[in-house]
Structure 1
Amino acid sequence: MIKKASWGIIILITILIITFWETLAYGVRQAKGQLAITLNTQPIEEVLLDSTVADSIKQKIRVVQEARVFSFDQLGLERSSNYTSYYDQKGEVALWNLSASKPFALEPYTWSFPILGSFPYKGFFDPERAKIEMDELKAEDYDVRVRPVSGWSTLGWTSDPILSNMLERPEGALAELIIHELTHSTLFVKDNIEFNENLASFIGEKGAVLFLNEKYGKNSASYFEYIIGEEDHRTFRDQMLLATRKLDSLYKSFDESVSDSLKSVKKHILIDQIMNSTDTLHFHDPRYYQIFHSGRPNNAYFMSYLRYYSSKDSLEALLVDQYDNDLKLFIEGMKAFHE
């Protein structure tokens, strides 16, 4: 009886390993990549005392420290040991993000992971692995996008370090990134990435404005630089959100009589119009006019704007109408609602 039960367990485990082998292998690779970073971090106290580290890097690390304390004390985000260590990327990209969408619908390809749930993107520490999976999705006619990631949250599984490439950002954008990621480690709703990313983006931006105002004041260069940058970002993302609505309307107009080749032609014509429309917008930073010079965006690109910014107006209305424009109360309300 015992031997039969033992064989039954062995057979069951074998079946599970075979069934979930790809997911298990991916999990092991990700754990190794994260561990390689974790084992090569330095406490920020050591970095700040190191005479070989540039003063510009130390200054940005202090900004991260201040933004972190501000997030805990003034915004009520969950206290953690995140961003108390430093990882030198030596100018290299640490993580790559892969996302995909159907070619004639704004519907993401999703990956499911035990415990964590479903995600419309997938991270890779090895760019070659990202390319292999990207090519596989392309072969299945998905629109795909691979991009470098400048920061991410492990949701409490490890203590997230300051990545050296983060420090290339201006102070306001750096504070926004830290607040964004600390929002993820405070509140993360399973199987609802669009809510999670919209919320973190919204709190990150609002929190950065409050942080810069407290640290420097509204008449400071840092505050002004961030506000001007946000104006450009808002102008561009609003145009991209308008583009998603136009693309969605086009795709929904297709019926079974429309061939894929005709769909592709109409899709490319509309995307070309969207690309050219940026010339009609006003930006303080002329680099926005060059965004599409490297190639035509696809559905995976446009989906990212829905994922991060589609709920901005509704979150803004909620903040003003129900929380009297008090970001800390707003965050408390979000946590209470999703407990």
Structure 2
Amino acid sequence: MNWRTALVALVALSGTGCAQLDYYYQAAQGQIALLSGARPIDDWLADPEIGEKLRERLTKVREIRHYAARELGLPDNNSYKTYADLKRPYVLWNVVATPELSMQPAQWCFPIAGCVNYRGYYNKNEAQEYAAALRRAGYDVQMAGVAAYSTLGWFNDPVLSTFIQYSDGELARLVFHELAHQVAYAKDDSQFNESFATAVEEVGVERWMAKQGDDKMRQTYLEFEGRKKDFLTLLVKYRQRLLVNYARQVSDGDKRKEKGKIFHALKDEYQELKVAWGGYTGYDRWFAEPLTNAHLASVATYNDYVPAFRALLAEQKTLGKFYRATRIMAAQEPAMRKQQLAQLTRNAALASVDEKLTR
């Protein structure tokens, strides 16, 4: 079955309601357009009409792709060996939602990906309409543009114009992250999947920088990683404050007032961070919409289990054994998987304490 037939079959088999069918139709059409517009990177590089900047970036991503397969053991398939110019800033727009006084994200379930904590649209206006409907229903909502995503190996994911101009380190990070989704995947567990991919991207970039990077590249990425770490620390801090607020035995009105104060403090502290960064504005778009619980809900999805996966890699010694152990964990019952991740997180914390004591 070719990819066009697979997508048509997916739409035919998915959902029963008209609204659900419309959603799957736009998803299938968006994926078809994406794959139809992709050409092999080698063909692009052989084209004398492409600009030198694009030629340089495509050459770099081809090097990164070779490294991912050769040195990191990531899938050596046709993903990220083609390129598509989308002529828009994002490949799709994700909608995340939570209840007004909760940090628990809503879930949507799909035939391939299972249940995930977001709903993606290839058309920005359609994403805005769905986000508005959720807000009218009383949800806290964030709508954000997405530069890349993985189809988990179902299709050959292309390199996209939405991220090709990233710095070398960021480009490597993204390719490693998305390929990691093809290595191990736990159905209905976004936190497991994204934390694993984040751990792989971190380890991959560390190794790639050590072997391939020059001083300028390393410095650029260290600055990027430093700002990212600062920003995540800020979000985790205020997510915790919101969790404490919603757990209080007070009225919903009191919780709403405190929620407003927390978000105001978050914005103020972010401005202080920007000063410390020398005015860097890369995270400003995160504040483009009024802050909501949904903005902070995804922080846990992508980061909470990263220390656990780093601890698992330390135990397994090699990436191959690490991937096998992760696949075994992905196949476990959710309760057992969470128990194992919790133990690995404790191991990571103890290792961190031991390292500090021995310095």
Matched, 1:78 2:70: no
> What is the correspondence of 1:265-276 to structure 2 with a 5 Å cutoff?
265-276=257-268
1:319 maps to which residue? 313
Correspondence for 1:161: 158
**Alignment check: 8 A CA contact 1:96 1:147 kept:** yes
Give the corresponding residue for 1:7.
none
The CA RMSD measured in Å over matched residues stands at: 2.3
Contact 1:232 1:284 in 2 (8 A): yes
Q: Structure 1 residues 299, 17: CA separation in 2 closer, same or farther (over 3 Å shift)?
A: closer
Residues matched between the structures, number: 317
Partner letter of residue 315 of structure 1? F
Q: Which runs of 5+ in 2 are unaligned?
A: 1-12, 332-359
| Residue of structure 2 aligned with 1:300, choices 294, 302, 308 | 294
Output the amino acid matched with 1:302.
L
State the alpha-carbon separation in 1 of the partners of residues 138 and 88 from structure 2: 34
By how many angstroms is 1:156 displaced? 1.9
Q: What are the ranges of 5 or more consecutive residues in structure 1 without an aligned counterpart?
A: 1-15
Q: Between Structure 1 and Structure 2, whose CA radius of gyration is higher?
A: 1
Question: TM-score when scaled to structure 2?
Answer: 0.82
Residue among 31, 34, 37 paired with 2:31:
34
Q: Which residue of 1 aligns with 2:222?
A: 227
Q: Among 209, 231, 238, which residue is 1:243 paired with? A: 238
Aligned partners of 1:18, 1:180: CA distance in 2, in Å? 30
**CA 1:164–1:19 in 2, change beyond 3 Å: closer, same or farther?**
closer
* 1:193 paired to 2:190: yes
Structure 1 pair 289–95 and aligned structure 2 pair: CA distance change class (3 A): closer
Name the SS of the counterpart of 2:163 in structure 1. helix
Query: 1:303: Cα distance to partner?
Result: 0.8
For the residues of structure 2 that align with 1:17 and 1:297, how far apart are their CA atoms? 33
- For normalisation by structure 1, the TM-score amounts to 0.86
Residue among 256, 266, 278 paired with 2:270:
278
Shift of 1:92: 3.9
Q: Any conservation in 1 of the 2:73–2:319 contact (CA below 8 Å)? A: no
Q: Distance in 1 between matches of 2:15 and 2:226?
A: 51
Residue 37 of structure 1, CA deviation: 1.5
Percent sequence identity over aligned pairs:
26
Match of 1:139 in 2: 136
Q: Conserved in 1, the CA contact under 8 Å of 2:91 and 2:148?
A: no
1:330 equivalent in structure 2: 322
Residue matched to 1:252: 247
Question: In structure 2, what is the Cα distance between the partners aligned to 1:17 and 1:231?
Answer: 43
